[in-house]
Amino acid sequence: MTTQEIDKPEHAEVVRTEQTREGRCYRPNVDIVETANELTLYADIPGVARDGIDINFENGMLTIHGRVADREREGVNVLLHEYGVGDFHRHFQVSERIDATKITADYANGVLALRLPKVEAAKPRKIIVHGR
């Protein structure tokens, strides 16, 4: 597949995830890739500072929440405003094949990378055939 064949939405989808939260809340786009040892989740959360990211794991549910700092500035005349300001929120049901105690997160350039290692029993292994 070439890059011309990839269909990517032009605008982020606005999702109201909680009735108690005011303002816009965006559902960030994610990619999830799998290797023999882990799953890696990449989430686009531009405009979120590292200390504005909350990641929680409880009862098999992985929740990502990113708070976007207010972009209002005094003395600035906004000429064009295409990017909406709002928080990011996403949650995922995580299988028991993931070792929740070893989940790690890195954040750089607006992309959050979560590494979800598999439990040993879920990793592929070579079976040795014995014979006489």
**pLDDT tens profile 56-86:** 999 999 999 998 876 666 788 878 877 667 8
Q: Which residue has the higher pLDDT, 127 or 27?
A: 27
Radius of gyration of the CA atoms of the chain, in A: 19
Pair of tokens at residue 20 = 């108690």
* CA neighbor of 89 nearest in space, from 13, 30, 22, 17: 17
- pLDDT of residue 125 exceeding 60, the answer is yes
Say if CB 12 and CB 26 are below 8 A apart. yes
Domains observed in the chain: 22-70+85-122 (2.60.40.790)
Q: Give the pLDDT band of residue 37 (cuts 50, 70, 90).
A: very high
Strand pairing class (61-68; 87-93): antiparallel
Give the chain as a 3 state SS string.
CCHHHCCCCCCCCECCCCCCCCCCEECCCEEEEECCCEEEEEEECCCEEEEEEEEEEECCEEEEEEEECCCCCCCCCCCCCCCCCCEEEEEEECCCCECHHHCEEEEECCEEEEEEEECHHHCCCCCCCCCC
Say if CB 97 and CB 36 are below 8 A apart. no
